Amino acid sequence: MIELLKNIDTEIFLFLNGWGTNWTDYLFYWISNRFVWIPLYVAILYFLIKRWKKQSIWIILCVILSIFLTDQSCNLIKKSVQRPRPSHETELLGQVHLVENPDGTLYKGGAFGFPSSHAANSMVLVWALFFFLKSKRKWPYYSIIFWSLLISYSRIYLGVHYPFDILAGFFIGTFWALLLFYLLSLFLPLRQTDS
């Protein structure tokens, strides 16, 4: 059964990874870069502070703790499971579309890829928006979900994660976000400021 799941995962990966072109290589390389999204993170901070005023400090600390625990969980699982990234898998040599770093070397990521930290951390921000930046408009929710899926797909496109790595990351990020955001709501009754 495990072999069947691995084969399905590999086939889906090869299908999704094989759509490479020069301009999409450049695009997805930068989409995957966390520093590109600093304006988004700053915007989320701004709206949290605007909506929650003094209480925003507890929400921001909770989001940071969620990301920290998510990241550490992913690292611990990577070291325990030790599933090679597709970019490091000798059986897939020559089949994986890889992208060049700006210095001309191939971008391969670390040795192990299960689960995806990018996917996990993006889910924390998705849940933060759902919990703390509620809106009557639907577009912010669709936008943040699209952003999370885009980041996650970029990891497959770059050849550093299988689809199941991404799904596991989504699960881990969701677990920590829901747990900590729920605990925060229990211990600190939050009252948002109308603005």
90-129 pLDDT tens trace: 999 889 999 999 999 999 999 999 999 999 999 999 999 9
C-alpha 107/C-alpha 7 separation (Å) is 24
pLDDT, one tens digit per residue, over 28-51 is 999 999 899 999 999 999 999 999
Classify residue 100 by its DSSP letter.
E
CATH of segment(s) 2-187: 1.20.144
Nearest residue to 96 via CA among 142, 42, 159, 141: 159
Per the listing, tokens 């966390």 go with 34
- Amino acid found at 185: S
Our measurement of the distance from residue 36's CA atom to the centroid of its chain's CA atoms, rounded to an integer in Å, reads: 14
Spatial contact of 95 and 145, defined as CB atoms under 8 Å apart = no
Q: Sign (positive/negative) of CA torsion 45, 50, 56, 57?
A: positive
Would you kindly state where each structural domain of the chain is located, as residue ranges? 2-187
195 versus 92: the higher-pLDDT residue is 92
User: What's the pLDDT score for residue 195?
Assistant: 47
User: What's the pLDDT score for residue 82?
Assistant: 96
Helix/strand/coil for 107:
strand
Q: How far apart are the first and last CA of the chain?
A: 54
User: What's the pLDDT score for residue 192?
Assistant: 56
Spatial contact of 60 and 183, defined as CB atoms under 8 Å apart = no
DSSP 183-195: HHHHHS---PPP-
